[in-house]
Amino acid sequence: MEKRRLGSQGLEVSALGLGCMNMTGPYGPPQEPEAMARLLRQAVELGVDFFDTAEAYGPFSNERLLGRALQPVRDEVVIATKFGFDIDLDTGERRGGVNSRPEHIRAVTEAALRRLGTDHIDLLYQHRVDPAVPIEDVAGTVKALIEEGKVRHFGLSEASPATVRRAHAVQPVTALQSEYSLWYRQPEHEMLPVLAELGIGFVPFSPLGAGFLTGKIKADTRFAAEDFRSRVPRFAEAVRAANLALIDLIETLADAKDVTPAQIAIGWLLAQAPWIVPIPGTTRLERLQENLGSVDVLISSEEFKAPGEAAARLDLPGARLPEASLAMVGH
């Protein structure tokens, strides 16, 4: 597996990571834990060494799953987890909103270390910016955790360029995580230039648009009530036909190159910059293998310009998140 460097702090990871969120929801019911543990170990065997989780996934069950499954290879992998939501650390109750008070960051970190069965977290992200806590205080708290050896790298998720700059001035930010794909191009406007300037890596989540860019979601697809996508505006039936125009573009290039739409979507991201490491998620081995195949898709940067430019001209309607979730991003 090709390696990539995230940021300027020395963190090197596989060119593709594995987003583990959906192993415990929310695109349906939680998967069978032992089956997911096998998939995690198979990912390692296939060359993946970068795994993304969070206290909020479950809550807590996702971190526990990774801790058990990756314990035999802990020294061979990079585990990223996150703090920042207001979750009761004893009961897992979601109290709503965000919480990045320094004492809460410390408590979440200690709890994550126990759940992961490790003495350090390789990459600790602030999951969502807390407007009530200066980002300098957040960065300073993580800096202290790094100095204590409990954390090795600092990351931010869904933060604004201004917030990234302020945090980076206190503790160098190794990676920013946010959504980025052929379906959602907003980071190109301001964020990617800032990351390039500061030497910060970028970890796109939902590189396949929560499954949309695989081409498997059709005009008549119905989502179960417990599936998060049933509440996401851009998946609504009323806008589905307009968004499927993007799939037509991707499928045309995929057919020409004898690869899958998913491999085109991920390959396009990989071609944008050598410091971008997407983290597609899956609960199936065959999809994991397909996604990893995108690293070897032989398409030049010039060839990737065409679908990117064509996609940018499309009117792709619908917000990427429900209104309440959107209110928590971009601070």
Residues with catalytic roles: 57
- Yes or no: say if 211 and 26 are a contact pair by the CB < 8 Å rule: no
Tell me the two tokens of residue 193.
């230039």
Q: Are 253 and 297 in contact (CB under 8 A)?
A: no
Token pair listed for 141 = 């708290």
What's the DSSP call for residue 131?
Answer: T
Query: 25 by DSSP, 3-state: which?
Result: strand
DSSP 172: -
CA dist 164 and 176 (Å) reads 8
Rounded to whole angstroms, the Cα distance separating 127 from 173 reads 14
User: What is the residue-wise DSSP string for 85-141?
Assistant: EEE-TTT--EEEEE---HHHHHHHHHHHHHHHT-S-EEEEEESS--TTS-HHHHHHH
Q: Where are the beta strands (DSSP E) in the chain?
A: 3-6, 11-14, 18-19, 50-52, 78-83, 85-87, 94-98, 121-126, 151-157, 173-179, 201-205
Q: Is 18 exposed, middle or buried (0-12, 13-18, 19+ CB in 10 A)?
A: buried
For residue 27, the 8-state DSSP code is B
List CB contacts of 246: < 8 A, sequence separation 6 or more.
182, 183, 213, 311, 314, 316
Both structure tokens of 197: 């300037």
Q: Give the integer Cα–Cα distance in Å for 83 and 53.
A: 10
